[in-house]
Amino acid sequence: MSVKIRLKRFGSKKRPYYRIVVMDSRTARDGKAIEELGFYHPIEADDKQLVVQEEKIKEWLEKGATPSDTVRKLLNKKDIFLK
């Protein structure tokens, strides 16, 4: 089972918000998540836009979870995953 850290979409049309979750790579985008690690509101103000649980993300990265390209960019904004 390969595990990915990726975004799960919520919200209405043209007002999206996302949760950063750990999921099996074969699961649908809005399917059941193993664990929720934070959220991302692209429309909100800067201080509320990205909230993550750094300790849990680091634990999952050590276990071998791979972040999606979008999640990698978001984590680089928070200086968590630098590659």
Domain presence at residue 59: yes
Q: Report the distance separating Cα 33 and Cα 47, nearest Å.
A: 26
Domain count, the chain: 1
Give the model's pLDDT for residue 67. Answer: 93
Give the model's pLDDT for residue 83. Answer: 58
Instruction: Evaluate the CA torsion angle 76, 78, 64, 71 in order and state its sign.
Output: negative
Domain presence at residue 23: yes
Domain presence at residue 83: no
- Print the domain residue range for 34: 3-77
Q: Which residues are paired to 24 by β-bridges? A: 3
- Residue 21 sits in a domain whose CATH number is 3.30.1320.10
Give the model's pLDDT for residue 1. Answer: 65
**pLDDT, tens digit only, all 83 positions of the chain:** 689 999 999 999 999 999 999 999 898 888 899 999 999 998 877 767 888 999 999 999 999 999 999 999 999 988 886 65
Give the model's pLDDT for residue 38. Answer: 93
